[in-house]
Structure 1
Amino acid sequence: MNPLLKHRTLSAAVLDQLRKAILDGTYPAGAQLRQDALAEAFRVSRIPIREALFQLDAEGLVRFVPQKGAVVAELSTEEISDVFELRRLLEPRLLARSIPSLDAGDFARLDALHAQMVAATAANDLGRWGQINADFHMALYARAGLPRSLTIVHGLLQASDRYTRVHLGDVAGMGIAGMQRAVSEHAALADLSRAGDIAAACGFLDQHILTVHEDLLRELERSQREAMT
């Protein structure tokens, strides 16, 4: 194997595993991510660890703090609002550009992803659910012809996954209801897109993102109140 390709493959694998560990709470908010300890755990040099941490910093999952190095980013209302407001700006634009070019194969993929989301909801598999959710949104926008915007949105969806796990993980409260609602709304988005109703689909998408945003802010505020009592 080409040494450069091998290095890139290794770095990508480390990045994927670190991202998953942050999203599933293995490394909670505020946890220090020491490069030497991670390198030993992954049995790699510090180079792919450093590259992965810089990428996670770009994604908003990690912050570099003086005297401490890389730490898992805290959840905050400002960060959540930044991510979801950007999504509301970019995703309806992508959907409007994509809908006219979506074909039968694209809708078959959307239907398959929706079926997978139904199954993940039934199994309460949050890790799988979050990935399917991101894949579904990216499949909706696949024909937009705007690769730079798609790359940005992909990163925003990854950041959103961490926040939605906080909300949907509250199974005793709103978690299951939130997952079921999202499944229903994704079906509606696919139907509106299939019908070619661009205005209705984009309006529905904007409301879909806004609803999740508002739910997350309420959940974070509730958690903060409980932590203070």
Structure 2
Amino acid sequence: MTKQKQSRVRHQVDRRSLAEEIRDSLRERIVAGEFRDGDALIQELVAEEYGASRIPVREALRQLEACGLVSMETHKGTVVSTIPTEEVEELFEVRAMLECDLLVRAIPAMTDRDVAGSREALDGLEESYRKEDISAWGRLNWAFHRRLYEPARRPRTLAMLQAIHLQTERYIRLHLLMTEGQAGAARDHRELLRLCAHRDIEGARIFLRAHILDTGTSLVAALRAHRAQTAL
């Protein structure tokens, strides 16, 4: 009986690990645009592609659904979620509220070590821009923002914010590629970091809010144009 229980526990750990690997791989492929909005993800085909059973694939898809990247639709199965442009705009407005609140709470608690960690994260993001390492942009962008907000010690808000970043990452990446906006993003991030390093709470809040909302407005306009063109 003891051996049977040990075997069962070991199997569950392995299966969960495989589900996470499949989830991360599918997430990157969705964000990279390999799977487009509305594309079907058929469990049997995904399982065959990864050399896995349907069980870890099903779990991976459930986790992606929780992130808002896919949806389970009756008679269609699992499809890549399409976020209407109005909702993309709303997500950026929510981002502005949450991130500004976190930043205002974080700056008074920031240490020089926190600022150095944020600078290191930003260096990594800028390096990925220079190398055109597109697959790393979203992860490193979130790493920079997370380092700025962590001193606020609001883990639940950070978790909600990360989910929003995951939902909008594919559109941000598309926008950067269409507009070649990496240099502008890097300048904005450097200025935001400078304001934080000087502990300029109000200046940083105003700048961050404008940065997020301006990015959202530009992205939504580009997304509308892109969708109109692809619909022809």
TM-score scaled to structure 1, two decimals?
0.91
Distance apart, 1:104 and its partner CA: 2.4
Aligned with 1:128 (options 133, 136, 139):
136
In 2, Cα distance between equivalents of 1:214 and 1:198 = 24
**Amino acid across the alignment from 1:216:** L
In 1, Cα distance between equivalents of 2:230 and 2:16 = 42
Does residue 195 (structure 1) correspond to residue 203 (structure 2)? The answer is no
Does residue 181 (structure 1) correspond to residue 184 (structure 2)? The answer is yes
**Amino acid across the alignment from 1:199:** E
Extract unaligned runs of 5+ from structure 2: 1-8
Q: CA RMSD in A?
A: 1.7
Share of identical aligned residues, percent? 34
After the TM superposition, which residues 1-229 of structure 1 pair with which residues of structure 2 at under 5 Å, given as runs? Answer: 2-170=10-178, 174-175=179-180, 178-227=181-230
Name the SS for the 1:143 alignment partner. helix
- Pick the structure with greater CA Rg: 2
TM-score scaled to structure 2, two decimals?
0.90
- Partners of 1:34 and 1:70 within 8 A in 2: yes
Moved over 3 A (4+): 1-5
- Partners of 1:134 and 1:158 within 8 A in 2: no
Name the SS for the 1:169 alignment partner. helix
In 1, Cα distance between equivalents of 2:12 and 2:143 = 28
In 2, Cα distance between equivalents of 1:55 and 1:6 = 17
Aligned pair count reads: 224
Q: Residues 47 and 228 from structure 1, CA distance in 2 versus in 1: closer, same or farther, beyond 3 angstroms?
A: closer
**Amino acid across the alignment from 2:225:** R
- Partners of 2:89 and 2:217 within 8 A in 1: no
Distance apart, 1:76 and its partner CA: 2.3
Q: Residues 190 and 73 from structure 1, CA distance in 2 versus in 1: closer, same or farther, beyond 3 angstroms?
A: same
In 1, Cα distance between equivalents of 2:134 and 2:171 = 12
In 2, Cα distance between equivalents of 1:228 and 1:71 = 18
In 2, Cα distance between equivalents of 1:225 and 1:34 = 27
